[in-house]
Amino acid sequence: EALLERCLAPRLPLLEAPHQSAACLFNGFSEGLPGLVVEVYATTLVIANHAEVDAVLPETLERMAAFFRVRLPWLTAALLKSRRSAIPDERLGWLLWGTSPARKVREHGVVYALNLTLNQDTSLYLDTRGLRAWLKENCAGLSVLNTFAYTGSLGAACAAGGAQRVLQIDLDK
Q: Is the pLDDT of residue 54 over 80?
A: no
**pLDDT band, residue 102 (cuts 50/70/90):** very high
**pLDDT band, residue 55 (cuts 50/70/90):** low
Query: What is the share, in percent, of the chain residues with pLDDT greater than 70?
Result: 97
**pLDDT band, residue 138 (cuts 50/70/90):** very high
Which pLDDT score, from 0 to 100, does residue 56 have? Answer: 65
Q: Is the pLDDT of residue 62 over 90?
A: no
Which pLDDT score, from 0 to 100, does residue 159 have? Answer: 97
| Distance of alpha carbon 41 from alpha carbon 15, whole angstroms | 10
Better-predicted residue by pLDDT, 167 or 86:
167
Mean pLDDT along residues 22-29 = 92
Which pLDDT score, from 0 to 100, does residue 51 have? Answer: 82
Which pLDDT score, from 0 to 100, does residue 119 have? Answer: 83
Which pLDDT score, from 0 to 100, does residue 10 have? Answer: 93
Supply the DSSP string of 72-110, one letter for each residue: -TT--EEEEEETT-SSHHHHH-EEEESS----EEEETTE
| Distance of alpha carbon 139 from alpha carbon 132, whole angstroms | 11
Cα–Cα–Cα angle for 4, 6, 60, rounded to 5 degrees: 15
Which pLDDT score, from 0 to 100, does residue 53 have? Answer: 66
Q: Is the pLDDT of residue 86 over 90?
A: no
Which pLDDT score, from 0 to 100, does residue 118 have? Answer: 87
**Taking every pair of C-alpha atoms in the chain, what is the biggest distance, in angstroms?**
52
What's the whole-model pTM score? 0.89
